[in-house]
Amino acid sequence: MRRRRSLADIAQPIVTVLALVLLLGVPFWLVISTAGKSQAEALNPNLAPPSQWQLFENLAQVFTEGRMALAFGGSLLVMIPAVFGVLILGSMAAWVLARRSSRGLAVVYALAISGIVLPPAVVTIVLLLRQLGLAGTPVGMIGVYMGMYLSTVIFFVTGFVRTIPQELEEAARVDGAGPVKVFVRIILPLLMPVLATATILICLYIWNDVFYALFAVGGRLDTLPLNLFQVASAGLYLQNWHLIFAYIILMSLPLLLVFAFAQRKIISGVTSGAVK
Amino acid sequence: MKGGTNPVSTTTTRAIVAPGAAPSLASPISARPRGRRQDHPLWFLLPALAVLVVFFFVPTLFNFIYAFTDWSSFKSGISFVGFDNFVALFANGTLLNSLRVTLVYAVLVAIFQNVFGLALALLLEKDTPLNRAARVAFFVPVIMSALAVGYIFQALLKPEGALNDILGFITGTDISIAWLGDTTWTIVVVALVHAWKWMGLSMLIYLAGLKTINPDVLEASRLDGAGWWQTLVYIRIPLLAPAITFNVATALLGSMNGFDIVQATTEGGPGGTTELLNIFIFRTFGQGLFAQATTMSLVLFLMVMILAFPVIRFLRKREDVL
């Protein structure tokens, strides 16, 4: 028993390093080395290092050709209002849904969280956006994302509000605070941990979403994944693997930087709630 | 004169009827039932419900209507055609094919993602510096764009790509397997890529689940002579039930709604053998066949509704048994 354990203790780091190299090292090295090659060398992407590194030239080229700055701005323009919107509207609704109980509200709650499981109707969303005159606009895209992720926020926050003692609200109410004041001053600050978790999840989804963006804004708004789709669709035809991978590097950098600085928070946020 | 005496008399009567601290108690009690409702006014629900109705429920309702029309980019008018879309999609085999492909893909992803996630969690369970760094590293694919992951693997899995180079180096022969060109096995390969992207999330959730297991239980099983494998199968995996529920449910839902990875690796090919419902929807929508895309969107909606709820309930029940 003891001997076997010490064998496992030696094997574990070796297996870990092997897993890291094979499962992560190979794909990521492929990205970096190919992004550093010339077009001729990158024609058939392989693991050989570039004979001459031209990573920064490729990054610069893709930055301008992929309209990276515009796409970055477009991604932010859609993500920030959508995330703020779902957090505020979702917590307002969740507060009332958690504190009041009636058969009618139980139905409202069930419908409100159904979007966690049920897929959005992508095709008819386009029809609706056209009827509302919002097709291809940031507002339309924000609305679509809010409709998709409100369920998640309402679900998380309702559960969390139920753990906040009513007495905290009562105390403020005795001091003459109305519902808006109670919500803003007492409830919202207490919701911060669960809102942080929801923010991380929803930012991840929206930042990386391409499917719903393809339908809702098509080619009329630049976002990072949409432009990657365009760069790659054109690039694969022209065999421009060095540009595709350069784009992937630039596009992943913002989230990787955020992750590097806040990894502990992100990881604990993502796992909290999953296991009880 | 009356005005001068009345207040005095009321205060005295109140003091008599309810002596001591009564005044301060009496008013909140009588006001409470109505006060409760005003404390959490229903209008707080309205903005969220308005957004949900406009951007979620109305499109979903439209789904049930426009699936039965001939809505397309080739005609200006829209008229009802009954079940024609369903019949046409059923007759040419795409409906059943996409349904089958989506289901197979979802099941494969759920299996692979959970096996990889659990294996990584068990490998990196101890809190060593190397393990902590490895956990962070395996989470990187989770935060990357799925589309980007798809393109990386498209390059890696080409017949003359890096994976075949590595295999050729190991075996010493030239290998040129078309990983993404096989009508039988490519769906398995693509499901593996999907699982690769999300295994870090499953790993973290299994790690969190493993932490919740009482060490005394493991110690007891060890004293009873159970080996590592027996402890895992009979003690730890059953105790991981909540984590398994979450991971299987999210993997199934995520892959049934899958698009990015398959679009970036195979675009539904070869020969439609990896054509998920969402790939079909995107392709037909691009061709201007809106009603057919809507029909498939409705099929996806119904499939998720029919499958997801029983699966979640089944997994929850297994938790209750334990």
Q: From first to last of its 322 residues, what are the pLDDT tens digits of chain B?
A: 333 334 333 333 333 333 333 344 444 444 444 446 678 888 999 999 999 999 999 999 999 999 998 888 888 888 888 888 899 888 888 899 999 999 999 999 999 999 999 999 999 999 899 999 999 999 999 999 999 999 999 999 988 888 988 898 888 888 888 888 888 899 999 999 999 999 999 999 999 999 888 889 988 988 988 888 888 998 899 999 888 988 998 899 899 999 999 999 998 878 889 999 999 999 999 998 899 999 999 999 999 988 877 877 777 776 665 5
Question: How many distinct structural domains can be found in chain A?
Answer: 2
Would you tell me which residues 26-55 of chain A have a C-beta closer than 8 angstroms to some C-beta of chain B? 26-27, 30-31, 34, 44-47
Under an 8 A CB cutoff, do A154 and B58 touch? no
Residue-wise pLDDT tens for chain A (276 aa)? Answer: 445 567 878 889 999 999 999 999 999 999 999 988 888 888 888 888 888 888 888 888 888 888 888 999 999 999 999 999 999 999 999 999 999 888 999 999 988 988 888 999 999 999 999 999 998 899 999 999 999 999 999 998 998 898 889 888 888 888 888 889 999 998 999 999 889 888 888 998 999 999 999 999 877 888 999 989 988 888 766 678 888 999 999 999 988 898 888 888 888 777 765 554
Encode pLDDT of B168-178 as tens digits. 888 888 888 88
ipTM computed for the complex: 0.90
CATH, residue A188:
1.10.3720.10
* Judgement on whether residues A213 and A115 belong to the same structural domain of the protein: yes
Q: Which range marks the domain in which residue A117 is found?
A: 74-238
Which of B35, B47, B212 faces A89 most closely, judged by CB atoms?
A: B47
pLDDT for the residue B78:
82
* Judgement on whether residues A204 and A109 belong to the same structural domain of the protein: yes
Under an 8 A CB cutoff, do B259 and A210 touch? yes
Q: Domain ranges in chain B?
A: 1-40, 88-321
What does each C-alpha distance from B207 to A16, A60, B118, B141, B221 come to in angstroms? 15, 40, 8, 17, 20
Alpha helices, DSSP H only, in A102-187? 103-113, 122-132, 138-161, 166-174, 179-181
| Alpha-carbon distance A61 to nearest alpha carbon in chain B (angstroms) | 18
* Judgement on whether residues A85 and A221 belong to the same structural domain of the protein: yes
**Sign of the CA dihedral running A57, A60, A66, A68:** positive
CATH of region B88-321: 1.10.3720.10
Prediction pTM value:
0.87
Final residue belonging to a domain, choices A223, A238, A253: A238
Considering the domain boundaries, does residue A157 fall inside one? yes
Residue A170 tokens, joined: 């009562």
* Judgement on whether residues A118 and A154 belong to the same structural domain of the protein: yes
Final residue belonging to a domain, choices A10, A33, A63: A63
Residue B221 contacts A where some CB pair is shorter than 8 Å: no
Find residue B69's DSSP bridge partners.
B80
Spell out which residues of chain B touch residue A111, defining contact as CB-CB under 8 Å: 52, 57
What is the rounded CA–CA span in Å between residue A36 and residue A52? 8
Neighbours of A236 (CB within 10 A): 16
Considering the domain boundaries, does residue A105 fall inside one? yes
Considering the domain boundaries, does residue A101 fall inside one? yes
